Amino acid sequence: MSTPQPGVITCMAAVAWGAGEALVMEEVEVSPPQPLEIRIKVVCTSLCRSDLTAWQSLASPPIFPRIFGHEAAGVVESVGEGVSEFREGDHVLTLFTGECMTCRHCTSGKSNICQVLGLERRGVMHSDQGTRFTVKGRPIYHYCAVSSFSEYTVVHSGCAVKVSLNAPLEKICLLSCGVAAGLGAAWKVADIAGGSIVVIFGLGTVGLAVAQGAKLRGASQIIGVDTNPEKSEKAKIFGVTDFINPNDYDEPIQQVIKRITSGGADYSFECIGDTGMVTAALQSCCDGWGVTITLGVPKVKPEVTAHYGLFLTGRTLRGSLFGGWKPKSDLPLLVDMYLKEEIQIDEFITHNLSFEEINRAFDLMGEGKCLRCVIHMPK
Ligand SMILES: NC(=O)c1ccc[n+]([C@@H]2O[C@H](COP(=O)([O-])OP(=O)(O)OC[C@H]3O[C@@H](n4cnc5c(N)ncnc54)[C@H](O)[C@@H]3O)[C@@H](O)[C@H]2O)c1
Ligand SMILES: [Zn+2]
Ligand SMILES: [Zn+2]
């Protein structure tokens, strides 16, 4: 007996009709998963700054109407042709950068940037450049081929990872992007050595996850830089030893850092999304061996400028997407670490909101009033 083919699902999704416009709850049609795709019932999804930046579309071409959301956990509802890795009922995290397991990068051991299922920027699915959502017959674009601000979504089976049924989805959804990105930047990309001096620009979830990673590696000084004074208290929980607000100084922030670190930090991290601060981060690490890791997605100007002398004297600038983790291979390890209480996730969750309140999450992040807002989808 053959199993019945999944049909179209009609459900609610938060649709962005234009740049910076409040999301509108719409009834959407979600198509069945195509070959090698899975359809997921989203359980929880959090708002990451990258959603907000893309929604504002100041540095990227506007792609609307669109369903945002890429930090999510859910349950597999149905699978498309050729999918053997997942079955209905599996718990999964979505992956905004996937892993095909076979391309040159996936097999290299040197990269987590899959050549087939890497970051999707055009608002469509990797396999056929089509969309899986419509509103009254009108196609709705995706975001990072995840689009979790919908009760159901379709993703490529290479853009999801199966997780333990014991792991609380309302917490581990944060590992789907921000927390994992910060921990990986500290551990896999910078490979912070014990006793190091670390400076982190931007103390949102990403920056504070870097701090947590640095603390667990035994960094001796973790300097957190943020223009929002409210970040100071929260930062201590994640291991920040010195909080600096650049607005409290008359001199450029890089000079302050160089002064208090006797010549610059061993590692600096840009976790803001401001390319001007990438330059400041580079100037804040020491010559000889200083490494700057940039994680931010620029809100406005995408170009980075730096004096060549910074490199001739031995500094390195590196970028990192998803903390260098190979998402399918590495993410279950982070889930296990959380279950063993080796890493903190709960402390990043400042708000729990219902799906109807999703615009509040955008407001809170825009006003600098939250770390992560977890949005709980209707049961
Ligand atoms: N590379 C990746 O894989 C990856 C993953 C997730 C997020 N991101 C990007 O990382 C960045 C941080 O994400 P988040 O979710 O933590 O964002 P967030 O908005 O919560 O945090 C950013 C922090 O930077 C601070 N800030 C803003 N301007 C500043 C300035 N001039 N000087 C000092 N501090 C300043 C803000 O007050 C805020 O605390 C964003 O650009 C996001 O798009 C990248
Ligand atoms: Zn993100
Ligand atoms: Zn690949």
Write the single-letter amino acid at 122: R
Ligand positioned closest to the Cα atom of 49: 1
Quote the pLDDT of residue 5.
Answer: 83
Does residue 271 line the site of ligand 1, with CB under 6 A? yes
DSSP designation for 102: S
- At residue 18's C-alpha, the angle toward residues 132 and 54, to 5°, is 75
Residue in 45, 46, 50 to alter for ligand 1 test, most ligand atoms within 8 A of Cβ: 50
Nearest CA to ligand 1 atom 18: 204
Q: How far is the CA of 263 from the centre of ligand 2 (A)?
A: 33
Quote the pLDDT of residue 3.
Answer: 62
> What are the φ/ψ torsions at residue 118 (nearest 5 degrees)?
-70, 180
Segments of the chain with pLDDT less than 70: 1-3
Is residue 281 within 8 Å of 269, Cβ to Cβ?
A: yes
Quote the pLDDT of residue 2.
Answer: 56
Measured over the CA atoms of residue 108, residue 35, residue 66 and residue 160, the dihedral's sign is: negative
Q: Is the pTM of this model over 0.95?
A: yes
Q: How far is the CA of 149 from the centre of ligand 2 (A)?
A: 13
Contacts (Cβ under 8 Å, ≥6 apart) of 228: 203, 245, 368
Q: How far is the CA of 67 from the centre of ligand 1 (A)?
A: 21
Does residue 225 line the site of ligand 1, with CB under 6 A? yes
CA distance 263 to 256: 10
Quote the pLDDT of residue 90.
Answer: 98
Q: Which two tokens stand for residue 120?
A: 């999707």
Q: Which domains does the chain have, with CATH numbers?
A: 9-176+345-376 (3.90.180.10), 182-320 (3.40.50.720)
**Number of helical H runs and strand E runs in the chain:** 10, 17
Does residue 16 line the site of ligand 1, with CB under 6 A? no
Contacts (Cβ under 8 Å, ≥6 apart) of 172: 73, 93, 163, 335, 338, 345
Does residue 158 line the site of ligand 1, with CB under 6 A? no
CA distance 228 to 369: 9
Q: How far is the CA of 260 from the centre of ligand 2 (A)?
A: 32
Q: Which two tokens stand for residue 306?
A: 């730096």
Q: Which atom of ligand 1 lies nearest, measured to the CA of 48?
A: 15
Q: How far is the CA of 291 from the centre of ligand 1 (A)?
A: 19
Q: Which atom of ligand 1 lies nearest, measured to the CA of 228?
A: 37
Quote the pLDDT of residue 226.
Answer: 98
